[in-house]
Structure 1
Amino acid sequence: MNASLIRTLTVCIVAAFALGACGGDMDDLDQYINSVKAKPGGRIDPLPEITPYEVFTYLADAEGLRSPFVPDSPQAAAGIAAGGTRPDPERSREFLEQFPLDTLRMVGTLKLGETQFGLVQTSDGLIHRVVPGNYMGQNDGRIVVVSESEIELVEIISDGIGGYLEREAAVGLAD
């Protein structure tokens, strides 16, 4: 026997068994359908009344108001972006600036002479010494104070409209 004949016979036998499973005994299904149809239908609540939409036309120009979709003035927008606080692109990056601030942990302090160092642990377990003036975190965080309980820093973050803001942050002593 060749392979195509065997394949054809196999398909025919499987089809015969599949069709044989489809019996005409559907009395239980008919009984269920009749019992569902015999139940009284439920009451459907009426649709809520829809209030008509009131059209509002914003006439900023006619009333002398500024449009909320246009910047105050091009000069003001340029002034915000051009002046003020900015990250220094020429400054060489320090090692702890490659880590997000929330992954750095203060694990202690060390005092040598008059200098107090903060001990910061990175996510890979290494401990680094920092002093005021060092940078850490990915937002140009400049350390301003190292105390026994925390390291305070000032980060430079984008304000979303082309400028930058200074934001205070701190890394507390880990428990």
Structure 2
Amino acid sequence: MTRTVKLMGMMVSMGLLTGCADAELTQLESTLADIRQSPGGQPPVIAVALPESRTLAYLYSEDRSPFLPPDAIAQDDADRSEGALAPDQQRIPEPLERFSLQELRLVGTMRMAGRQVAMIASPDGNVTSVKEGNYMGTDYGRIAQISAQEIRVTERVFTQREGWQERQVSLAINENNE
């Protein structure tokens, strides 16, 4: 009985598999052969002509920026040069003023001729020696004090509401050399 069941199962399977065969398969093979024999190449490039457009001039570059808050509007650069804390715009910038304080790194300090001197590494690979009174950073930072492990810098920043303000920041020697 098991043998007959196996035989019947095989017969049904063969019948089902015969239904999967397609009589049109030869036609598909001949079509593919024709395609393979035809010359290939790149399809032709069809260039679509774009309509001509005219250039428009932007006439509002001198107007108020819509991205500024209303209370920060219309303060001339002349206002920036006024005030007791305004930096000297006539002063020749020092080499380390090209970089922000975040880009500068304190690599060491030493005493020379009775004065404390700091060694500052800049992103361009140079190491510059500075003393108290030198300027560094993009915010008119002036070195106020140099100690063995850090330097204190007084920066001057301009805000629309309060004008020129001073802030104290420091650069410390990084033990990890990062």
TM-score (normalised: structure 1): 0.52
Contact 2:144 2:153 in 1 (8 A): yes
For 1:110 and 1:164, locate their aligned partners in 2 and report how far apart those are by CA, in whole Å.
33
Contact 1:81 1:162 in 2 (8 A): no
1:80 Cα offset (Å): 10
Q: How many residues align?
A: 103
For 2:139 and 2:132, locate their aligned partners in 1 and report how far apart those are by CA, in whole Å.
16
Q: 2:122 maps to what in 1?
A: 122
Contact 2:120 2:127 in 1 (8 A): yes
Matches within 5 A, 1:97-116: 97-116=97-116
For 1:152 and 1:160, locate their aligned partners in 2 and report how far apart those are by CA, in whole Å.
26
For 1:82 and 1:128, locate their aligned partners in 2 and report how far apart those are by CA, in whole Å.
32
Contact 2:81 2:87 in 1 (8 A): no
Matches within 5 A, 1:129-148: 129-148=129-148
- Residues 7-52 of structure 1, C-alpha deviations (whole Å, 9 max, x = no match): xxx9xxxxxxxxxxxxxxxxxxxxxxxxxxxxxxxxxxxxxxxxxx
1:137 Cα offset (Å): 0.2
- Asked if 1:86 is matched to 2:86, the reply is yes
The SS at the match of 2:102 is helix
Counterpart amino acid of 2:159?
D
- Residues 57-84 of structure 1, C-alpha deviations (whole Å, 9 max, x = no match): xxxxxxxxxxxx88xxxxxxxx998433
Q: 2:29 maps to what in 1?
A: none
Choose 1 or 2 for highest CA Rg: 2
Q: Give structure 1 regions of 4+ aligned residues with deviation exceeding 2 angstroms.
A: 79-84
For 1:80 and 1:140, locate their aligned partners in 2 and report how far apart those are by CA, in whole Å.
13
Contact 1:80 1:162 in 2 (8 A): no
Contact 1:97 1:137 in 2 (8 A): yes
Gaps of 5+ in 2: 1-34, 36-69, 72-78
Which one has a larger percent helix, Structure 1 or Structure 2? 1
Q: 1:41 maps to what in 2?
A: none
Residues 80, 148 of structure 1: CA spacing in aligned structure 2 closer, same or farther, 3 A cutoff? same
Contact 1:152 1:170 in 2 (8 A): yes
Residues 157, 80 of structure 1: CA spacing in aligned structure 2 closer, same or farther, 3 A cutoff? closer
Counterpart amino acid of 1:121?
A
Counterpart amino acid of 1:165?
Q
